[in-house]
A and B are shown apart, each in its own frame.
Chain A
Amino acid sequence: MEKQVKLLQGNEACVEGAVMAGVRFFGGYPITPSTEIAEGMARRLPLLGGRFMQMEDEIASMASIIGASCAGAKSMTATSGPGFSLMQENLGYAYITETPCVIVNVQRGGPSTGLPTKVSQADTMQAGFGTHGDYRAIALAPSGVEEILYQTIEAVNLSEMYRTPVVLLLDEVTAHMREKVMIPSPEDVDVKQRRKPTVPPDWYKHFEISPTGVSPMAAFGDGYRFNITGLTHDQVGFPTAVSSEIVAMLDKLRDKIVKNAEDICDYELTEMDDDPKVAIVSYGIVARAAKQAVMMARDQRLKVGAVRPKTIWPLAVNRLRKLLKPVRKLIVAELNQGQLINMIKHHVDRRHTEIIPLQRYDGELITPAQILNKIKEVKHHGTQV
């Protein structure tokens, strides 16, 4: 089949990606600005023999997709701020039970009901640390409609490969804007499946500590008859209070993400080849403005670059440090009061690199002109950079 070109809204691209990645169960509850994803799944899934369920709330939505995944289905939900908050307890259950599933959070202004129809990136931290306890999250952050399609596929793939929930962090603008999308033909899409056990049922351990750090996963009805619990458990899946087993379980949740961070996380670089001393870090919709600002700055012979993490949890820290080594002044632009900036501060050598915030949280976008102004302001201060 040939590649198809379509004009799609971000939320529609997410539906296309989900279907291509093999999602066949969706449980959700309507909320602006994510509703088009539920509507799209309600249309598409029954045609493919899949199942769409409108649940009674987001708590149930999250529960249903975990249940479906335990039964072997690739599953997904989509929501926004208030719904994402309601999902947190069961999201934690997905982390501790290592159950693959995808949660799309189309960010809007908060806290609480906040700004339902306005753009925001104020759930950046929540996407990584929203539920209680120790765990490591994966959260992807596309910045355009076509990328939403590909990152939805990637989110499903990562959830299957690492047996973990994956958050796809969109925002009101990317979710609702329309762009040209090249829809790949199915044979060009790399679709991953969770590893199934090969051992006989008697030997099966649902949470086995394996060399890859990820346990094979049987589904209910496959003949394995195992226990899944949200209590801290041993490798077989029974509740435990033994120190060594507690630590082993928590280390496993951490290590499978941390040790693979450099594989999971990817960056898009703009004009970073000539070692600019001023750069912008931003993600999602803001990174588009940053890219534009860099182009405008270069036209004015200002040496500036931009780094965009495509995955904000986890960051590939080693690569980030290397990338930012020549940078003396780093602008961190985001649609909140400063969340990404704290992660960046944590990883960058601040004796060497000054970190400068550019924040907007009035429900409007940061414009390229705003970023360009910041670049000029930064350039005029202090040393020749």
Chain B
Amino acid sequence: MELKSDVIHQYLRPKKKFPHVWCSGCGLGVILGSMIRSIHSLDIPKDDVVVCSGIGCSSRLPVYVDFNTLHTTHGRAIAFATGVKVAKPRLKVIVVTGDGDCLAIGGNHFIHACRRNIDITVILANNWIYGMTGGQFSPTTPTEKFGSTAPYGNIEQPFNPCDLAISAGASYVARSTVYHVDQLDKMITGALNKRGFSVVEVLSNCHTYFGRLNKEGDPVTMLNYFKKHALPVQAWDKVPEEKRAGKFVTGLLHDVEKDEYCDNYEKLVERLQAKMESK
């Protein structure tokens, strides 16, 4: 069997100056590996893959991988990706983003891309915090948790990104964590295979800020937290409400067939051209 890391090395940029910018033990490396394995398992040629991102620790990911990569402005990756996809629909377009990037500054682009159901896969690294800028609370920071701008505990209510994506119209929505790597590979592979807007929320450890500010410790402690509190959707659906308290549901949460934006545009063009020819 091919080692997981062997596959990854085939997809890292030969010319890129390593080391990377991430703290050791950060969950983002696991997401990078999972994305690569998923692309590899689907045999998608490197030349046809575009990875876009915004700004943040998570958004640094594209710079390291050997695809067409577009590291854009904070929050705007989905809007850039939309232009890429619509101009060249044959490309496989992936957006890697963080909870701040995708849901705060980029929230509007996120819901509208869901609504359009454009064939883009969003990998949302949710670490409940703004990592890159040093630990400020984000739209997913749970109430009462601490951030550098929530020194007395967060008084806001967090988003549930998957619920948001489902209600805004995405056609494939899944959640996993950087602990559940096999599940994560499956979810990302499924998302890449889906024709339509797909979202994979990945709970990821930012021990450097979220862990430290909330006294939740080192990477291992945080991974253990994911392990203990994740409930696969099959189990989640069966257990009574009280048993769900403090847990979060993982796995494929939503998978529906609906019209995709680029397909619809192509149909429109064909209809207009047929009309012109018949004239």
On A, residues with C-beta under 8 Å from B are 24-25, 27, 46-47, 49, 51, 53, 55-57, 59-60, 63-73, 75, 89-90, 93, 219-231, 236, 238-239
Contacts and interface: CB of A to CB of B under 8 A. Distances in A.
Contact of B79 (A67, A72, A220, A227): A67
Contacts of B86: 25, 51, 53, 64, 68
Contact of B268 (A46, A64, A222, A231): A46
Contacts of B109: 56, 59-60, 63
Interface in B117-162: none
Given A64-B86, A225-B69, 9 more contacts: A25-B87, A51-B265, A56-B108, A59-B79, A60-B82, A68-B83, A93-B73, A228-B69, A239-B63
Nearest to B21: A239
A238 B16 contact: yes
Contacts of B79: 55-56, 59-60, 63-64, 67
B80 interface: yes
Interface string B42-82: 00001110101000000000110011111111001001111
A225 B83 contact: no
Contacts of A51: 86-87, 265
B181 interface: no
Contact of A225 (B67, B72, B87): B67
Interface of B: 13, 15-17, 46-48, 50, 52, 62-63, 66-73, 76, 79-88, 90-91, 108-109, 112, 265, 268-269, 272-273, 276
A227 B69 contact: yes
Contacts of A93: 72-73
Contacts of A64: 79-80, 82-83, 86
A258 to B, nearest CB: 26
Contacts of B46: 225
B70 A75 contact: no
User: Interface residues of A: mostly helix, strand, loop or mixed?
Assistant: mixed
B29 to A, nearest CB: 18
Given A47-B276, A67-B83, A230 B91 contact: no
User: Interface residues of B: mostly helix, strand, loop or mixed?
Assistant: helix
B179 to A, nearest CB: 30
Contact of B87 (A71, A90, A231): A71
A220 B72 contact: no
Contacts of B13: 227
Given A67-B87, A221-B48, A53 B63 contact: no
A288 B75 CA distance: 43
Contacts of A73: 87-88
Given A60-B79, A63-B80, A221-B90, A46 B272 contact: yes
A66 B76 CA distance: 11
A233 B85 CA distance: 25
A69 B109 CA distance: 19
A199 to B, nearest CB: 14
Contact of A53 (B76, B80, B82, B269): B82
Contacts of A47: 272-273, 276
A220 B88 contact: yes
A70 B70 contact: yes
Contact of A231 (B71, B80, B84, B108): B71
Contact of B68 (A53, A75, A90, A225): A225
14 contacts: A46-B265, A49-B273, A56-B112, A57-B108, A64-B79, A72-B87, A93-B72, A220-B50, A220-B91, A225-B67, A227-B69, A229-B63, A236-B15, A238-B15
